Every structure is written in C-alpha cells, then in structure tokens.
Chain A
C-alpha cells in the first residue's frame, strides 16, 4: 500500500472549517483513500473514503486532487469533540483481507 504523509499536528478554531491535508504521491490507480480518526482512549472511527471523485457525508468532505497524489479532509464546522488524531490511509480495496496500515496521523486540537 502507498505511504502517506500528514502534518504531525494542527490547531483549529471551534466553528470554523478544518482542512487536513494528506500526501500520497505513490498511490496506485486501484487504491482508495480512507480517513479514520481516533479520539483519546477509543478505537478508530471511520470518517470517509474515496477513489478519485470528491466525496461528502454527514461527517466530512474528501477532496482528492485530479492526479490523486494528495487529498484534503474537510470538517465543515469543527467542534471540541472533533479533537482527535486523524489518519489518512491508502489501500487496495478488492480483497476483504486487505489490512489497514496506520501512520502517525495528524493530531488535531480544536480550540474554543
């Protein structure tokens, strides 16, 4: 699976949009981009995923560049409960046994 690069940490203001970048310059054509987050002392929570089109759900939006070498997770209105470590992972989707490999993630602190 392609390696991803994320900033180590970032601060966001409550109520504002939070834009979390992720570089995956070696991504293959059949690899999806997944985003998870982990709130302190809990298991990771799925946020969103996509292949090449931008995606939106009730939690966030995912913007993938046309060359697919980078993406941005957007939390439209950050709340204090969005404070967590956010992981960007790329992986092939075909086989049910494909594992997720977690990098260091971005530690996001939402401030009042």
Chain B
C-alpha cells in the first residue's frame, strides 16, 4: 500500500535554530502534499498545502516566512521551521495522495515530534 515516510521522527534543539523535516512518498508520486501541526490533546490543524514546482499555500494565521516549504520533486516535500522557539514545539505530520487518484485517500507519515528548548 501507499507509504509516506517522515524524517526525523523526533528532534530536540535549542531555541533559535532551524529544523528541517522531510516528507517522502515512497511508492507513488504526489503533486500535492500537506503539512499539519498537532498540539497535545488537540486535533490536527492544517498548516499548508505543498505544491510540486510552485509555491505552497498557507492557511490563515500560519507564517510563511517561519515555516518554509519546498516541494522540489514528486516524492519529496520539506518543512523548515526557521529560528524555532519553544512555542513551535509540536507534532508535525505530513500527508500525500497519489497523482490522479482523486477519490483515493491521503496517506500520512508517522509524524515528527519537535521539542525546542
């Protein structure tokens, strides 16, 4: 079945550093990938839609200069949290769906737990 891989699964870093998270579709191509954030005991909140070869579309309230998204190929999207601070600590999850599989489900990665000290 469709597999989405996220890396790293867990990262701890100091305040002020930048952190890059990778999302790969392992056995299918995806023109669109999605990035979500989830705080403890809350539901997933969509941050942005990553479009291969073009700019990402950010949800209202999400700072595009803070959360840089690059979707350089049909199997890879990256999210970079720039100058991370403790309030950016969260569980970040990506998802993707195969090209031309319009009514097929999105598949999710296992998430990246980010802790900023």
Report A's interface with B, CB cutoff 8 A: 32, 34, 36, 38, 41-46, 49, 51, 87, 93-97, 99-105
- Cα(A102)–Cα(B103), bound, Å: 17
Name the residue of chain B whose CB is nearest to the CB of A85. B43
CB pair A43–B99 under 8 Å, yes or no, is no
CB pair A97–B32 under 8 Å, yes or no, is yes
- Cα(A32)–Cα(B113), bound, Å: 31
Question: Distance (Å) between the CB of A53 and the closest chain B CB?
Answer: 13
Majority SS at the chain A contact face: loop
CB pair B32–A46 under 8 Å, yes or no, is no
Best-buried of B4, B6, B111 by chain A (most CB within 10 Å): B111
Kindly state whether residue B105 has any CB partner on chain A within 8 Å.
Answer: yes
CB neighbours of B91 from chain A (8 A): 41
Report B's interface with A, CB cutoff 8 A: 4, 6, 31-32, 34, 36, 43-46, 49, 51, 91, 93, 95, 97, 99-103, 105-111, 113
CB neighbours of B105 from chain A (8 A): 34, 36, 46, 49
Name the residue of chain A whose CB is nearest to the CB of B57. A97
- Cα(A101)–Cα(B101), bound, Å: 19
